[in-house]
Structure 1
């Protein structure tokens, strides 16, 4: 591959962000054009650099990938977004892929595997790499959609409007999530979801 792949690395852990950037920098056909620690910074960097690939952490300190992906594509429609996570079975993966991410790379991938993922996503437009075994998420992707909107402060009516669901359906999803996470109210479900690493 003759063209250099321009990459933006987005992760809220400096050790991960800098380590990945250093790993990628060792490949002659890859250039790290930016780094970002949160969603706001990622959008600014993406708009400025218009990278070929954005390597996006699934959970940032200020947002979840499913909410960041559309914002990145809005400022750089041609960028490919690869999710980057230690938890490939996380409930946030499916909504982020549905929002426009092109694939997923696990954080314990080797430098050569990470390079292969970047090359493949640029060439083919998607990456369907090896899925590692992991504990499955306690909630379904749709329940996760409702959960993250609850965490963002949405009412049942607002959540229904945003997801195209009836009020009763939203209540049913929320009831299921609260049961699965052993929560009695909205505040507790958010706290327990964070404890499970879902938010």
Structure 2
């Protein structure tokens, strides 16, 4: 009797990511890190609420992952998070912030965040989260 091995499940395409971050330095460093370490394609980015919502609303570039900072040049990442589930329903929504207090984490989850990470202390956890997405 022979057994048939099943190949491991993995994505054939890169994760398509949209990044909402107002700091050009942080944005560029994060893009470089994600694209260097993982099979991720950053398909767009915005630094304010209105630009983020406009990009997400066009629907031209569907994404798999939306990474959102809370505090933006204008508006708030919380509003982006609130609308992201309707505008890009298939995308995972991740908050990456310097203000990952227990209350803020709970609020973000209530608004539809799949995960919340602290920018200064949990980048490795964000990378692991993205790796898990690639393996799903």
Q: What's 2:127 paired with?
A: 115
Alignment counterpart, residue 2 of structure 1, candidates 11, 25, 29: 11
RMSD (Å), alpha carbons: 2.3
Q: Is structure 2 residue 84 aligned with structure 1 residue 43?
A: no
* Greater share of residues in helix: 1
Secondary structure in 2 matching 1:105: strand
**Structure ranking higher on relative contact order (CA contacts 8 Å, 6+ apart):** 2
2:7 is aligned to none
1:79 and 2:88 are equivalent in the alignment: no
Computing the radius of gyration over CA atoms, which structure comes out larger, 1 or 2?
1
Change (3 A) 1:2 1:68: closer
The aligned counterpart of 1:33 is: 43
Is the contact made by 2:85 and 2:91 (CA closer than 8 Å) also made in structure 1? yes
Q: What is the CA-CA distance between 1:2 and the residue it aligns to?
A: 3.1
Equivalent residues, number: 124
- Residue from 80, 102, 106 that aligns with 2:118: 106
Distance change in 2, residues 1:113/1:42 (3 Å): same
Residues 1:111 and 1:68: Cα distance change in structure 2 (over 3 Å) = closer
Looking at secondary structure, tell me which structure has more strand per residue: 2
CA contact (8 A) 1:11 1:60 kept: yes
Are 2:20 and 2:77, in contact at CA under 8 Å, matched by a contact in 1?
Answer: no
Residues 90 and 65 from structure 1, CA distance in 2 versus in 1: closer, same or farther, beyond 3 angstroms? Answer: farther
Unpaired stretches in structure 1, ≥5 consecutive residues: 125-199
